[in-house]
Every structure is written in structure tokens, then in C-alpha cells.
Structure 1
Amino acid sequence: MKRLLVILMVAMMLAFAVMAQASDDSWNKVKDSGKLAIGLDDAFPPMGFRLDDGKLVGFDIDAAEEVGKRLGVKIVWQPTAWDGVIHSLNSNKFDCIWNGMTITAERQAKVLFSKPYIMDGQIAVVAMGNKDVKSSKELGGKIVGVQKGSPALEAAKSLKPAPVEIREYDTNPKAFLDLEAGRISAVVVDNIAGRYYMSTRPGKYMGLPGFISSEPFGIAFRMNDKSLEEKVQSVIDAMVADGTMGKISRKWFGEDITNPAKW
């Protein structure tokens, strides 16, 4: 009897899974409406932010608009409070979240993520032309700068061998100015923020290879919207392969940080 009950339960679970998959018309709904609504925090440079004239710009904006163009749908941006963005997604206020969202186990229990399209995390930056430090493992005995209260502080503390001093700054730009002046050997900083800042001052800094800590960015969809996720993912894969994602990345970060082969 117990064996029969187990078989019946497994059969029911498989039937429900098949029914759920069959009823997934998420891509067809977007295609038929001609619109893909995306939730975001529109004050998150360089991923998505407003210029003084109110125009929405950023890496995610450019990438998503190109995806919309290739899918033949219009991208509709829906600014929303970040602390409630997943709830808003699951309440059908938009179709996905595309805004530099870190993939975490907690979030994976609530949403369906695409593959990572950017690898974020903490990196070490040195002055351009530095010949003394070629990797983060060579920061032992050096003075390293970080932004006060940021995740970079813990990343710098994890360095082995340890820096002789971790100097804290109110802002990253202040740390970078000290780096440029030679008062510190490196700045540990968020990859996205650091590379965006470096792109505004070309020829002044260079990121050391690899990550001190890794935080992948993904696009979040509702759990049952697999067909929509697969459609968007296929376009992103094509954009990586044909160099379009790299081109957008170089515009915002000064280099290609979208190619998984380089992570």
C-alpha cells in the first residue's frame, strides 16, 4: 500500500509539472502584447540611472533595449522601490527585473534567474603602469584603500598575505585620488563601480586580474515564466557571441566584462 501511494504521489507531481510547463505562455503573452515590462531602480549608475534631463541610461538599459529590438518588442521601463522589487515582480507589475541583481540562494527561492550576464564582486585596482603589484595576492605588506562601510572592507581583510594597512575613505573617488597620488598601493572596490569610475579617467588606473569575491548578476523572472526566460537568454547568448554585449560593456566600463570565458 505504501509503495502504491508513493507511485501515485510521484505520478501526480509529474503530471503537475507537465501541466505547469504546458501552461507557460509567458513568452507568447509578451510577444502578443508587443511589450516587455522591466522593473528597475533608476538610480543605480552605471546599470540604470537618470541624466539631468531625466533620460534613462546605463548598461542594463542599452542591453535590454537591444534584446527588445531583436525580439521585436518594445521595452517598457518600470521604476520601483528596490526593497519590494521581487514582490512587485510576483504581483505581475512587470515581466522581469533587469537591474544588476545579484544572484543569491535566498532570491533563487523566489524568482527564476537567467544565467549570469556580468560577474560583479570586489576587485583590486592599481595605478596605470604599476609594476610592483600584478595580482591581489601581492598586496601583502602594502597600504590598501577602501570605502568606509562597504563590502570592500571585508574583502580587503580577507587578503592573504594581509596588507600592512587598510585605509578607509568616505568615498571611492577620494581613495582613487590617493591611489593616483601614490599614497596607497591599491583600492579594493566593487567591480561595477570601480570600472565605471576608471572609464571616466582613462589611462589612470587598471584592475588587477580576477576577483577577491564574486557576485554574479542575473535577470529575474517569475518562477513559472520559463519560456520567457529562455527566449531572453537565447538573445543574450547571441549578443555575447557576436560581440554586441562586449561593445555595450566597453561603452560603460572601458572593457568587456560580459564574456563568461574571462571570469
Structure 2
Amino acid sequence: MRRETLLPALALTLVTTAGAVTIGTTDDDTAPAAGHAPRTLLDTVPRRGELRVCTTGDYRPFSYLDPATGGYTGIDIDMAEHLGAGLGVQTRFVPTTWATLVDDLTSGACDIGMGGISVTLPRAREAYFSTPYLTDGKAAIARCADADAYQSLEAIDQPGVRVIVNPGGTNEAFVRANIHRATVVPHPDNNTIFEEIVAGRADVMITDASETEYQAAIHPELCALNPDDPFTFAEKAYLLPRGDEEFKAYVDQWVHLATNDGTYDTIATPWQP
């Protein structure tokens, strides 16, 4: 008798509790509708009318925030606009840093990370990567007058050489792992870091080969050192929330089409040296 009395009461409690949870989540654009699987960003982004893109704004030619205008430009800025247009929404850029990029994405501050992001295993533990759209690798850039002196990693890693690095990303990780005898000079602003080499306050920077070529093109005093034979192999891709298979599948298909139908090349060509 006691069991029969308790079961109906327990059932009533569960129904009441479930009803309370449903009421509390109906205004959340990520809440699942009754009888349906949890909603993916493929649904919520069009419903919201906005694609939120985390980008650092300090990595030309992929992402640059102009301090004078407050506007973003770059290959991945245009690609983000193209992705948003395909979803039928506006694109909003969310400022981030290399040190906080993954945290900003996983916290829900943005829907996707874009802007020359290198694929790494530590990042892959926290988030998904899209299909890669570019092959790259770490290479050096230095004053052209000194280029012959820095043709190898061993030649760079010598006492008295000043290797400048922006903190928080794969550049710093590479330098910390491979530079032991040269002096490492942290510089917080990746937008002005190359001027430090031009001015003689640093000797070398190691960054992605694509960036060395671009920066050498806009700074005649600087030369990209062996960008076609970088120190490492790397790929660039877009950072996506882990677990959202439907949104990842859509972005992967978009990347595949854009890199094969001429869209990416059309966007990237004006930024090439």
C-alpha cells in the first residue's frame, strides 16, 4: 500500500518539475522544441538574424581592425561576410585575443572563430575545426640587410639575436619550444610588431609564412625568409563549437565549395603580395 501511494505522488512531482523546466527555457533560442532534438547553430543563427564571429583583428592579411575607423578588413573578414550571407543573416565581429580565442568561443560569446587560425591539437581538444582552407607553416622575417644571417632556425637561435613574439598563440608556442639561446622579446601588439624589427629594436620574428610574405610586401625593409620551405607544417581552418555536428557539416561544405568554385581565390587575390 505504501508503494502504491508513493508512485502517483512521485509521478505528479516529475510532471510538475518537467513543466517548470519547459516554461523556464521557452525563450532560449537554443532550447529544443517539444519532440525535437536540441537546436543547432544552423537553426539558431538564422533565427537570431546574426552570425557572431570572434576575430583578433591583428593578423593581416586575414583579419585587421583599423583603429582609425573601427572597421575590420581581411581575407577571413570577407569570408565571414560570405558565410553570413549564405545563412541569410548579418555578420557581427566579436573582438578577441589569441590567448582568449578558445575560451570566448566555448563560452558562447561567438558562433565561430575566424582570422588565420592555425589548427593545433590543444585547440582541437576544446573545439572543432572546419575543413582546412590553407596550408601554412612557421617561417622567419627579418630586415633584408640581415637576411643572410638568419637562414635557419639554428642561425636564429644564437646569443645576441632578439626574437620578437606576440603572446598567446602558436607563434609564442613555437618560439618557447625552439628558441633557447637567443633573447625572446614579447610584444603585445601584433599590428605594430613588424615596425619593431624595422626600427632595429628586434631582429627576427617567426610567424606563419603567409604573414611573412604579406608583411614583407608592405614593409620594403623586411624580407620573408624561405616562406616556401617553412620550419613546420600547419593548416588554417575555422574554429567551431565542439559537439554541434550539423553546424560543422554546413561550414565544412561551405569551405569545400568556396575553395573550389573560385570564391576564396577571388577574395584572397587582392591581399596576396
TM-score bin, normalised by smaller chain: 0.5 to 0.7
CA contact (8 A) 2:105 2:112 kept: yes
8 Å CA contact 1:172, 1:189 repeated in 2? no
- Structure 1 pair 71/127, CA: closer, same or farther in 2 (3 Å)? same
Greater Cα radius of gyration, structure 1 or 2? 2
Q: In percent, how many aligned pairs have the same letter?
A: 21
Which residue of the partner structure matches residue 26 of structure 2? none
**Stretch deviating more after TM superposition (85-94 or 195-204):** 195-204
Q: In proportion to residue count, which structure has more strand?
A: 1
Aligned mates of 1:91, 1:154 — CA distance in 2: 28
Give the match's secondary structure for 1:52: coil
* Separation (CA, whole Å) in 2 of partners of 1:56 and 1:149: 23
Cα distance in 2 for partners of 1:167, 1:82 equals 22
- Matched residue, 2:40: 25
Is the Cα–Cα contact under 8 Å of residues 155 and 188 in structure 1 kept in the other structure? no
Distance 2:263 2:217 in 1: 18
What is the distance in 2 between the residues matched to 1:80 and 1:174?
A: 23
8 Å Cα contact 2:142-2:205 kept in structure 1: no
- How far 1:241 moved relative to its partner? 1.0
TM-score in terms of structure 1 length: 0.62
8 Å contact from structure 1 (residues 146, 153) kept in 2 = no
Deviation at 1:114, TM superposition (A): 0.9
- The answer on whether the counterparts of 1:122 and 1:155 sit within 8 Å (CA) in structure 2 is no
Give per-residue Cα distances to partners, 1:4-63, cap 9 Å, x unaligned.
Answer: xxxxxxxxxxxxxxxxx9545321222333321112223x13123224121222222111
* Structure 2, gaps ≥5 residues long: 1-35, 167-171, 188-192
Does structure 2 retain, via aligned residues, the 8 Å contact 1:31–1:73?
A: yes
Structure 1 unaligned runs (5+)? 1-20, 159-165, 179-183, 255-263
What is the RMSD of the two structures over their aligned residues, measured on CA atoms? Answer: 4.2
Q: Which amino acid is the alignment partner of residue 216 of structure 2? A: M
1:214 pairs with one of 215, 229, 233? 233
Q: 1:101 to 1:154 in 2, by over 3 A?
A: same
Partner of 1:98: 114
Structure 1 stretch displaced more, 49-58 or 107-116: 49-58
The equivalences for 1:60-71 within 5 A come to: 60-71=76-87
Partner residue, 1:253 = 272
Question: What secondary structure, in the 3-state scheme, does the structure 2 residue paired with 1:212 have?
Answer: coil
Structure 1 residues 157 and 219, CA, compared in 2 at 3 Å: closer, same or farther?
same
User: Of residues 73, 92, 110 in structure 2, which corresponds to 1:57?
Assistant: 73
**How many aligned positions are there?**
220
1:70 maps to a residue whose letter is: G
Q: Tell me the secondary structure at the aligned position of residue 242 of structure 1.
A: coil
Tell me the secondary structure at the aligned position of residue 190 of structure 1.
strand
Name 1:189's counterpart in structure 2: 206
Structure 2 residue identity aligned to 1:217: K
Q: Provide the rounded CA distance (Å) in 1 between the counterparts of 2:212 and 2:246.
A: 35
- State the secondary structure of the residue aligned to 1:38: strand
TM-score by length of 2: 0.60
8 A contact 2:112–2:239 mirrored in 1: yes
